[in-house]
Amino acid sequence: MADYSGGDQHHHQQQLLNGDADVGMDRSVASTSMEERPSTPDRPNFERLLSELNETINKCHQELNSLLGKHGMESEWRKLIGQMRESKQLRDAEKFAARKLDPEIENLRREVNEKGKIISELDNSDLIYKKEDRLDAKMKELEDRYNSKR
């Protein structure tokens, strides 16, 4: 390779950038046609491309921040969905337990109704209270009914 010192080096670099020089190059590289050589961008075009690239990077950065913000909302949404599922499971468990108790509650209601009927029969019958033998017989009947259900 040739020695380029001082101003010649700058001139050589300009020739290389412009694609004019074949000084110090292989003859195979120097003999390639202009169409095959990569073009170098001119300074204003390069600055415009660089500016567009920076704008694209800024837009991507803003979009990424936006998505991260949405991700935060998404994680909050997932947390709320989890809480909702837990409350539904608790509600279903309570309904299941209530269904187990329904027959027992119904039996207790029947007993209360039967006892209410007996009490109303006693309240409505003046004869029972006035005649002691009828009162004793009615009390015995009630005790027998009560003991038979136990």
Each residue's pLDDT tens digit, 49-66: 889 999 999 999 888 878
Percent of the chain with pLDDT over 90: 19
Interval 79-125: pLDDT, tens: 888 999 999 999 999 989 888 888 998 999 999 999 888 888 777 66
Q: What is the pLDDT of residue 23?
A: 47
Axis crossing angle, helix 43-124 with helix 132-149, rounded to the nearest 10: 140
Q: Are residues 47 and 114 in the same domain?
A: yes
Instruction: State how many domains the chain has.
Output: 2
pLDDT of residue 35: 58
> Residues with Cβ < 8 Å from 125, sequence gap 6 or more?
138
Model confidence at 10: pLDDT above 50 = yes
Check residues 133 and 16 and name the one with the higher pLDDT: 133
Instruction: Quote the CA–CA distance of 140 and 31 in Å, as a whole number.
Output: 131
Q: Are residues 28 and 53 in the same domain?
A: no
Who has greater pLDDT, 121 or 129? 121
* Whether residue 141 sits in one domain with residue 75: yes
Question: What's the CA gap between 111 and 122, in Å, rounded?
Answer: 17
Q: Same domain, yes or no, for 82 and 145?
A: yes
Rounded Cα distance between 126 and 117, Å, is 16
Query: Are the C-beta atoms of residues 135 and 129 closer than 8 Å to each other?
Result: yes
What is the largest distance, in Å, between two alpha-carbon atoms of the chain?
Answer: 145
Parent domain of 59: 41-149
pTM score, two decimals?
0.32
Alpha carbons 126 and 39: distance in angstroms, whole number? 122
23 Rama sector, left if φ>0, alpha if ψ -120 to 50, beta otherwise: beta
Higher pLDDT, 66 or 29: 66
Task: Give backbone dihedrals phi and psi of 54, rounded to 5 degrees, phi first.
Answer: -60, -40
Q: Are residues 63 and 96 in the same domain?
A: yes
Average pLDDT over residues 121-145: 75
| Mean local confidence (pLDDT), 30-56 | 74
Q: Are residues 117 and 65 in the same domain?
A: yes
For residue 58, tell me if it sits in a domain: yes
Res. 28 pLDDT band, cuts 50 70 90: very low
Cα of 38 vs its chain's centroid, Å: 51
